[in-house]
């Protein structure tokens, strides 16, 4: 049986799995600070933040890459929850001088080997603590030592793809997903919308939960979880041999076929599936596999950021 993953389009050069919204206006900064789990007060045009929006019960609605440019904020997130996010975020703009709009012509691609790409443009480039670098009217967002997103107007991004820069390599869709998973990065898709607390997704370890941040949605519950340390499930990264695609929210079970977790993200390269799962913390070092599948046991991989 073939399962469906989070409902994102098939890979093209342009990554259709992301959408961008623009937040502008005099109250934009206060609006975002009251909405998100990290403050945007110190965000500048050389850096971007990873942040989250929660419901009143402390469940994650969305995870955003937040970019600041020309006095406004750009939020990058999973396209499958676009309508949910747009409709709900508009409710909180009442009586505020804030405008929220979709940047329809803004797109993203993923790329490896970004340092050589930048050196090809600027031979004097020296790696520093910048997280955003301008490339031919586009922005390169540095995610990891060899992985980045390049975002911008669709015509500018297409122009970059067609350029003759030897070091430029647009990554394969599945390789992009695998890389993100290996870094513990998870964008909320519609299947896991409002399903998990940030601690279950290890967002506290990614610095997305700021305990000093003012009053944001779900903060009381999130702070209590952080103080008591009573999270019973955690995000883990696995791989295994599977003949079919694996659906988000598929059950992960032990050798007695008892549910011990849920798949939240999966991709497959050749015959190997790579999986992010929310797992009961008492399940560590035990034999587990995907329910209703003929497969070898899952092998746990280390997420270096969390090691």
Does 2 reside within a domain?
A: no
Kindly tell me if the per-residue pLDDT of 8 is higher than 60.
no
Does 5 reside within a domain?
A: no
Does 31 reside within a domain?
A: yes
Buried b (16+ CB within 10 A) or exposed e, 275-287: bbbbbbeebeeee
Instruction: Report the predicted TM-score, pTM, of the whole model to 2 decimal places.
Output: 0.88
**Parent domain of 246:** 232-306
Kindly tell me if the per-residue pLDDT of 158 is higher than 80.
yes
Query: What is the CATH classification number for the domain harbouring 295?
Result: 2.40.30.110
Q: Examine the fold and report which residue of 200, 230, 260 is the final residue of a domain before the chain moves on.
A: 230
pLDDT at 189: 95
Kindly tell me if the per-residue pLDDT of 128 is higher than 90.
no
Residues 259 and 165 in one domain: no
Kindly tell me if the per-residue pLDDT of 12 is higher than 60.
no
pLDDT at 60: 95
What total of structural domains would you count in the chain? 2
Average pLDDT, the chain: 85
**Residues 18, 107 contacting (CB under 8 angstroms):** yes
pLDDT digits (tens, 9 = 90+) for 138-156: 999 999 888 899 999 999 9
Residues 212 and 82 in one domain: yes
pLDDT digits (tens, 9 = 90+) for 58-92: 999 999 999 998 889 999 999 999 999 999 999 99
Residue with tokens 């929006």: 53
The confidence band for 18, taking pLDDT boundaries of 50, 70 and 90, is very high
Instruction: Name every residue whose Cβ is closer than 8 Å to that of residue 299 and which is 6 or more positions away in sequence.
Output: 238, 239, 240
pLDDT at 212: 66
């Amino acid at each position: 049986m073939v399962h469906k993953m989070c409902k994102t389009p098939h890979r093209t050069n342009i990554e259709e799995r992301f959408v961008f919204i623009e937040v502008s206006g005099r109250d934009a900064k206060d609006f975002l600070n009251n909405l998100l789990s990290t403050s945007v007060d110190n965000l500048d045009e050389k850096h971007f933040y990873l942040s989250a929006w929660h419901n009143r019960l402390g469940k994650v609605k969305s995870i955003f890459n937040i970019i600041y440019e020309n006095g406004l904020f750009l939020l990058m997130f999973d396209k499958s929850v676009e309508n949910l996010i747009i409709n709900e975020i508009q409710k909180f703009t009442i009586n505020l001088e804030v405008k929220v709009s979709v940047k329809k012509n803004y797109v993203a691609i993923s790329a490896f080997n970004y340092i050589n790409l930048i050196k090809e443009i600027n031979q004097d480039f020296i790696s520093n603590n910048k997280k955003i670098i301008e490339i031919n009217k586009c922005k390169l967002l540095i995610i990891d030592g060899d992985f980045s997103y390049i975002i911008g107007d669709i015509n500018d991004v297409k122009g970059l793809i067609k350029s003759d820069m030897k070091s430029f390599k647009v990554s394969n869709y599945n390789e992009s997903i695998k890389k993100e998973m290996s870094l513990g990065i998870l964008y909320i898709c519609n299947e896991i919308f409002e399903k998990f607390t940030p601690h279950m997704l290890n967002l506290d370890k990614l610095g997305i939960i700021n305990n000093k941040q003012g009053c944001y949605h779900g903060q009381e519950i999130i702070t209590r979880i952080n103080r008591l340390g009573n999270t019973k499930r955690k995000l883990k990264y696995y791989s295994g041999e599977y003949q079919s695609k694996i659906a988000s929210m598929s059950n992960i079970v032990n050798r007695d076929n008892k549910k011990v977790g849920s798949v939240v993200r999966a991709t497959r390269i050749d015959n190997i599936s790579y999986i992010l799962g929310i797992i009961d913390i008492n399940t560590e070092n035990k034999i587990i596999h995907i329910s209703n599948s003929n497969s070898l046991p899952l092998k746990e991989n280390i997420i270096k950021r969390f090691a």
